[in-house]
Chains A and B, each alone.
Chain A
Amino acid sequence: GQNIDQPTEMTATEGAIVQINCTYQTSGFNGLFWYQQHAGEAPTFLSYNVLDGLEEKGRFSSFLSRSKGYSYLLLKELQMKDSASYLCAVKDSNYQLIWGAGTKLIIKP
C-alpha cells in the first residue's frame, strides 16, 4: 500500500529552527509537496521537490532524497504565525496526490 509518515505534533520556540520529517512509500514518484494549513483554512503551497537536494525559499527549505523515500521541511527564524499544520504529499505514478496526516507545529514564545 501507499504510506506517508510524518510526526503528529512538534513544539518549537519562537526564533528557533525546526525540521519536520516525512517518509514515504508510494507506487511511483512524481514529486513531493509541502503545504501549510492553518486551522479552519485550506492548505497553501510551500514547496515542491522532484529532484534530490535542497530547495530554499526564504525562511523555508525543503529537502528530498528519493533513494531513501525521505523529505524534510526546515523552518528558520520561527514566528508565532508559523503555528499551523504542515502536510507532506507525494504525487504517485498516476500523478495522484497521496497526503500525509500532517504535523501540527506549535510555536511557543
Chain B
Amino acid sequence: GAVVSQHPSWVICKSGTSVKIECRSLDFQATTMFWYRQFPKQSLMLMATSNEGSKATYEQGVEKDKFLINHASLTLSTLTVTSAHPEDSSFYICSAKKTGFETEAFFGQGTRLTVV
C-alpha cells in the first residue's frame, strides 16, 4: 500500500500564532512531498515541493518565511504556518511521491486550518 498520514485533521488557532502540520508516509519512503492549499470551491494550489534533505522549492507568490517547510527524513515533512492570520484559513493537503518512477500521487487526509 501507500498510506500518507497528515496531522492534525483540523486546527483552530489564534491570529499571530504558529501552527505545524505533519505529513508522514507510513509504508513507503517519499523523496518528494508536495504541499497544497485549497480554498472553498477551488482547486488545489501547489505551494511548495519538498525534497528530503534539501530546501523546499516554493511556487511563485508563496512566502517561504511564512510557510516553513522541513523534510528531515524520507517519511516526514512538516509545514509550519508562522504568524497565522485569518486569510491563512484554508484546507492544506500534502501528497507524497515514492522513490523511483511513480505516476500516482498519494494524498494525506488534509488539515482544515481556521485562524480566529
A interface residues with partner B (beta carbon < 8 Å): 31, 33, 40-45, 48, 50, 87, 91, 96-97, 99-102, 104
User: 17 A-B contacts, Cβ less than 8 Å apart?
Assistant: A31-B103, A33-B104, A40-B91, A40-B112, A41-B110, A42-B6, A42-B93, A42-B108, A43-B44, A44-B107, A45-B105, A48-B104, A96-B46, A96-B49, A97-B34, A99-B46, A101-B43
Q: Quote the shortest CB–CB distance from B22 to chain A (angstroms).
A: 14
Flag if A42 contacts B109 (CB, 8 Å).
yes
B interface residues with partner A (beta carbon < 8 Å): 6, 34, 41-46, 49, 91, 93, 103-110, 112
Chain A residue at smallest Cβ distance from B110: A42
- List of B residues within 8 angstroms of A43 by Cβ: 44, 93, 107
Q: Quote the shortest CB–CB distance from B100 to chain A (angstroms).
A: 13
- List of A residues within 8 angstroms of B104 by Cβ: 33, 45, 48
Flag if A99 contacts B44 (CB, 8 Å).
yes
Q: Quote the shortest CB–CB distance from A87 to chain B (angstroms).
A: 6
- List of A residues within 8 angstroms of B105 by Cβ: 33, 45, 97
A100 and B43 in contact (CB under 8 A), knowing A31-B103, A42-B93, A48-B103? yes
Flag if B109 contacts A41 (CB, 8 Å).
yes
